[in-house]
Amino acid sequence: MSVHLPAGLELRGATSADLPGAAALLAERGDPADAVDVGLVAADQGMDSIGVVLEGDRVVATATLLEETLHVAGTAVPAGQVELVATDTAYEGRGLASALMAWAHTRSAQRGDLLQLMIGIPYFYRRFGYEYVQPIPRWQQLTTAPPPPPDVDVRRATPGDLPELQRLQDRAQAQVDLRLPHSSACWRWLLVHDATEVWVAHRDGRPVGMVRTLPPSGGAAAAELAADDDQAALALLAHAAGPCSEPLKVQHRHGLAAAVVAQLAEATEPAEWYYGRVPDLPALLHHLTPVLCERLRDAGLPASQELLLSTYQQHWRLHLTESGVRVVAQGGAEQAPVSKGGSGIPPDAIASLVIGALGAAGLEQRLPDCLLGRQREALTALFPPLTADLLTFYLPV
């Protein structure tokens, strides 16, 4: 797909000839390590997962679409994540990042993605249909560096550790409603790039924990802590804190690691939020049919429901049954859904409704234009507040 932009610029998927230019631009506008990362993504996911805007053969803007899978209450949902976004300063404000976002979303939809998630600079991505859906776990400052337990060794992870790393992360994520594991490709990138480091704890030659750190020069931070027991978690924290001249920042995690970290650290920074985007609500709901029916049953409600949902700009009449979500009717503006027995959800709260931390009831409390009406009981059951644990290529520091 090639798009002609004003002033003779062209947007298209990258070729190998574009890669050095994209890498140099990312290094200049972001982090020097981004130049390595874009090469890793290109080699693994394919060159055309990187979008470039060219003037002649010069790369003046770029963005990358990563392939992800979000697990929603156990159901795998194909998702995209946009990363490595940059525009040459001389070309800013000409709509190039906006054009690249449109390119990424088209590509994501063609791939079959039902939503997009990302971490990004404040506000900007709301322009492209993203909402703040889930808080990024807080960073906590280690007030006491623990002594290393004698029976646990810590060393850099290697590709041979991958099955155990995945096991540890699956276990750490087991209790949350929304989980984004690292893709297999992302694990490979993490084990070879230098921007972050993955460490494994061993006891008697057996992996019992892992942590991902920023090198001390990169800000002394540890995330993705997952351990089979407290001693393994302490060994990893002691190791991560060891070379740092300043207190180590540790990212909060549900489960065992949280209790260990809580004893040693205090929360410092206010939570930022992950962005989420749901371009086609009925399609996502259809995909989530088993989850939705189970939630209705758990609430003692019939698993067959007629729903009217309006974003005020457009609306859908949906029929939910065990066999799927059928769009009975859809149309444009529906200003008074509540008086027709339906619910009004503002268009910028659609992703929050389905994958958000607040759930339908929390949104209604917070947003004056989120009106559940007579469908309150059903929507509250269908869309509860969700906990999340999202592993991303870039640490949200």
Ligand X SMILES: CC(C)(COP(=O)(O)OP(=O)(O)OC[C@H]1O[C@@H](n2cnc3c(N)ncnc32)[C@H](O)[C@@H]1OP(=O)(O)O)[C@@H](O)C(=O)NCCC(=O)NCCS
Query: Is the separation of the CB atoms in 324 and 353 below 8 Å?
Result: no
Rounded CA separation 8/5 (Å): 6
In angstroms, what is the C-alpha Rg of the chain? 23
Among 40, 47, 98, 314, binds ligand X (CB under 6 A): 98
Rounded CA separation 376/273 (Å): 26
Stretch that binds ligand X, among 84-92, 149-157, 200-208, 348-356 (CB under 6 A): 84-92
> HSE on the CB side for 130, CA within 13 Å?
26
Q: Does 211 bind ligand X (CB under 6 A)?
A: no
Q: Does 87 bind ligand X (CB under 6 A)?
A: yes
> Nearest to residue 275, comparing CAs of 114, 60, 81?
81
State both tokens at 251.
């990212």
Pick the closer one to ligand X by CB: 30 or 347.
30
Other C-beta atoms within 10 Å of 112: how many?
11
Among 31, 44, 92, 230, binds ligand X (CB under 6 A): 92
Stretch that binds ligand X, among 2-10, 31-39, 87-95, 202-210 (CB under 6 A): 87-95
CB of 220 to ligand X, least distance (A): 22
Residue with tokens 């230019």: 21
Residues 8-37 that bind ligand X (CB under 6 A): 29-30
Stretch that binds ligand X, among 91-99, 149-157, 251-259, 337-345 (CB under 6 A): 91-99
Q: In sequence order, what are the residues at sequence separation of 6 or more whose Cβ sits closer than 8 angstroms to the Cβ of residue 247?
A: 141, 142, 143, 220, 241
Site string for ligand X, 108-127 (x = CB under 6 A): ------------xx-xx---
Rounded CA separation 26/84 (Å): 7
How many chain residues touch ligand X (CB under 6 A)?
17
Stretch that binds ligand X, among 43-51, 86-94, 343-351, 369-377 (CB under 6 A): 86-94
Pick the closer one to ligand X by CB: 34 or 224.
34
Under the rule (CB under 6 A), what is the footprint of ligand X? 29-30, 61, 85-87, 92-98, 120-121, 123-124
